[in-house]
Structure 1
Amino acid sequence: MSDVGPLLRHWRTARRLSQLALAAEAAVSVRHLCFLETGRSSPSRAMVLRLAEVLDVPLRERNALLLAAGFAPVYRESDLDAPELASVRGALDAILAQQEPFPALVMDRDWDIRYANAGARRFFAFLQGGRTATPPGPPNVLRRMFHPDGVRRHVTNWEEVAEALVRRARREAIGGVTDERARRVLDEVLAYPGVPASLASVDAGAPLLPVVPVRYARAGREFDYFSTVTTLGTPQDVTLQELRIECFFPADDATRSHARHLAASAAAPAASA
């Protein structure tokens, strides 16, 4: 018997759809869908892909559905350094460069930072202020925000930002069943010293605020940013679908001025050399 039935039911539940609603969207009978979920019928490859499309299942999990139904995966997972992704890397470089002098970065599904523009490197180096202690592991947005050796001490509205990040991380993880890495990172950062226990019970389903500002302060300067998160449109590669491009925008003139001052200060030594 196929193992795909429980996975289909899992995704339907995660998307908060009834069998009737899913059947209508996928143009199949409720009876047939019920048989698929209970294992009384086995889906065709086309049916698995159709249901996955309606349920908006991530590509990584679509491969898992296909494997559970006895079919080979159809979506590849490329290395970002692969030659065939050169055009995508070029597009990412262009987006990051366009954001200067304000920070921008590219992260993967585990919140690891894969690329960052000069604005981001300048800004976070300024916040670190020469400190050599850093959060454990590779550069990671969640670790950087939650760890005592990260930027947490410079975020003046840290609890508001932390709650929004936890909610976002949990929302993005809803439904995923084949990879626990992102969840492990979230569990790790929630256990850091000084992190309120109440964050562990943040409801992922609660409405998100339109914009969550992040306010930083260090050395007499204040930075007030908000961010936008962009994904690549209609990717057919697991790696590309899981990328997130986060660009930080100044919320006031002071932040705009401070960012330009940091950029000018960094350029001055290079010019004099």
Structure 2
Amino acid sequence: MSASHPSGAHGATDYFSDFAAALKYWRGKRGYSQLRLSAESTISQRHISFLESGRSQPSKDLILKLGMVLEIPLRQRNVMLLAAGYAPAYQERKLSDPELGAVRRALDFMLAQQAPYPALVVDRLWNLALANAPAAGMMRWLLDLPADAAIPTDGSANVLKLMLDPHGARRYLHNWEEVGADLLHWIQREAMSDGPGSEATTLLAELLALPGVAGLGQASPNLDRRALPFLPVTLRKDGVELNLFTTIATLGTPHDVTVHELRVESFFPADEASAAWFRARWS
């Protein structure tokens, strides 16, 4: 049997004091009244009120039903189960787990098809899990690393930190304030989803402590820049200017926490000069 472990087994009580607090948090976050939640879950409003006051204890099936109605991330459904005294329902396997072999092959195929342009796979905290050769090469170029330097894909390299650190890729990111504000939005959303005391909250605090990052969300977006229909990522280094945009893809119908949280970011050239630069190196 392959090694796997339930998600949320450590530190679950750091997020919420009990199930009642977790349910109230998620109902409020989704903007549901007790009446609306009752109607969509077919659970009586009285029972929901009792659950939120702690007067009633939920069954495991009821927690899973509420998790589906409120579209709660799988990781946080496990947290709610633990808070109510149940074992987690969703496993959290490593991407190297043989049981995720089909997922790994699909991701490898997607990354290979993206060449000669960069593509990478990150988890919900933007820790690097996979990268194709163009992505690894672009990272070495931006981080001033040797051509044969290894790019860690074990989760130890955080893409957001690499991009926002003034000693990292940010030195060559011409419009770093605009891009940084967009990147910050992703982790802020994760922190809101996870609640207080979570890894996402800790990462957000680390990013906001970097010079210049805390004020990024206060600036208005420049919607007139080149009249492009997307936010470009403009890199300038060694006399080269690359204009890129990205897409984010997720895997559908996941029943595993790791699979649910994976993000595939693909980079595309926004002009012919940028496309030619990548083709010359990785075609």
Corresponding position of 2:98: 83
Q: How does 1:51-130 map to 2 (within 5 A)?
A: 51-130=66-145
Q: How does 1:175-190 map to 2 (within 5 A)?
A: 175-177=193-195, 180-190=198-208
Once structures 1 and 2 are overlaid, which stretch shifts more, 178-187 or 217-226? 178-187
Q: What is the CA deviation profile of residues 144-181 of structure 1, one whole-angstrom value per residue up to 9, with x for unaligned ones?
A: 11112211011111100111111121123323138622
What amino acid is the match of 2:256? Answer: D
Cα distance, 1:69 vs structure 2: 1.8
Q: Distance in 2 between matches of 1:15 and 1:183?
A: 19
1:105/1:115 contact within 8 Å kept: yes
Once structures 1 and 2 are overlaid, which stretch shifts more, 180-189 or 31-40? 180-189
Corresponding position of 1:12: 27
1:61/1:177 contact within 8 Å kept: no
1:64/1:178 contact within 8 Å kept: no
TM-score (norm 2): 0.83
Q: 5+ unaligned residues in a row in structure 1: which ranges?
A: 204-208, 265-273
Corresponding position of 1:168: 186
2:118/2:133 contact within 8 Å kept: yes
Secondary structure at the aligned position of 2:91 is classed as coil
TM-score (norm 1): 0.86
* Alignment RMSD: 2.4
Residues 211, 171 of structure 1: alpha-carbon distance in 2 compared, 3 angstrom cutoff: farther
What amino acid is the match of 1:220? Answer: G
Identity %: 47
Residues 187, 178 of structure 1: alpha-carbon distance in 2 compared, 3 angstrom cutoff: closer
Q: Distance in 2 between matches of 1:233 and 1:202?
A: 34
Q: Distance in 1 between matches of 2:204 and 2:100?
A: 29
1:102/1:120 contact within 8 Å kept: yes
2:166 to 148, 166, 189: 148
1:246 to 265, 268, 271: 265
Once structures 1 and 2 are overlaid, which stretch shifts more, 29-38 or 112-121? 29-38
2:181/2:217 contact within 8 Å kept: no
Once structures 1 and 2 are overlaid, which stretch shifts more, 107-116 or 173-182? 173-182
Q: Distance in 2 between matches of 1:210 and 1:62?
A: 36
Residues 202, 139 of structure 1: alpha-carbon distance in 2 compared, 3 angstrom cutoff: farther
1:221 partnered with 2:240: yes
Q: What is the CA deviation profile of residues 113-142 of structure 1, one whole-angstrom value per residue up to 9, with x for unaligned ones?
A: 01100010111222234479x9xx922111
Number of equivalent positions: 254
Residues 82, 98 of structure 1: alpha-carbon distance in 2 compared, 3 angstrom cutoff: same
Q: 5+ unaligned residues in a row in structure 2: which ranges?
A: 1-16, 221-227
